[in-house]
Amino acid sequence: MRTLFLGDIVGRAGRDAVLEFVPRARQALALDFVIVNGENAAGGFGITDDICHQLFAAGVDVITGGNHSWDQSAIIPFIEQEPRLLRPLNHVPGTPGRGCGIFTSRSGQKVLVINALGQVFMDPIDNPFLAIDGELKKVRLGATVQCVVVDFHAEATSEKMAMGHYLDGRVTAVVGSHAQVPTADAQLLPNGTAYQSDAGMCGDYNSVIGVDKEVPIGRFLGKVQRARMVPANGPATVCGVFVQSDDVTGKATFVAPLRDGGRLRPDWPVPP
């Protein structure tokens, strides 16, 4: 099975790049399943139902979220009735929406996607390790599902690495999001789980993590800033992680970063 995870979409530049890229990548890489993190897709803050519909129409199978999932209040009724739009699993009970779901790939495999939020340097939230444990008890990799992908939306690389090793052998892939800079540590962990600390963002890298440079630079200089942060709108780089896995075991057999367009050096996976 071939799965692609794309990191945080930031603003219109990121949206447009992903909408153009996904149909092309599905064909070029013979993708079975595509996941994107969309929590910054609407002007850099949250996501809307219209954006979700555009992404689904382009070939995205599941959209994950993070700490900005609720920035657009109108998304709440939509997330309640759209199972393909996830929010972090480890919110308190009663939070609108779902933190995970089982979906069917284009080639017929069952795919469990889990979205969880980190605790380190983030707002208080329930333990993501225990929350994911609870969901994994309901399935068996290679039997009830052929693939399990975890989007761990977290700040600290140490927490992300700990999650990767904690889940090694129990899931197909653990991919970090939120930091919005692609890391160089794509690897197969000892027990067969694909891992990368952060997929990077889909947005304009001539920016401060996707935001137009002037306001954040001014804040770091201690200047009083009345302007709100807005996404940079130059040419965007699409960043993500490609994972190939065995349909029988559900274990990953190949993992590689993906970058396309914009300012970063292109890097397309060459699976065996």
Q: What residues are annotated to the active site? A: 68
Write down the residue that tokens 């889940």 correspond to: 167
Cβ–Cβ under 8 Å, residues 157 and 239 = no
Q: Tell me the C-alpha distance between 135 and 26, whole Å.
A: 29
Q: Which two tokens stand for residue 70?
A: 């609720």
The CA-CA-CA angle for residues 197, 201, 206, to 5°, reads 125
Secondary structure of the chain as H, E, C letters: CEEEEECCEEHHHHHHHHHHHHHHHHHHCCCCEEEEECCECCCCCCCCHHHHHHHHHHCCCEEECCCCCCCCCCHHHHHHHCCCECCCCCCCCCCCCCCEEEEECCCCCEEEEEEEECCCCCCCCCCHHHHHHHHHCCCCECCCECEEEEEEECCCHHHHHHHHHHHECCECEEEEECCCCCCCCCEECCCCCEEECCCCCEECCCCECCECCHHHHHHHCCCCCCCCCCECCCCCEEEEEEEEECCCCCCEEEEEEEEECCCCCCECCCCC
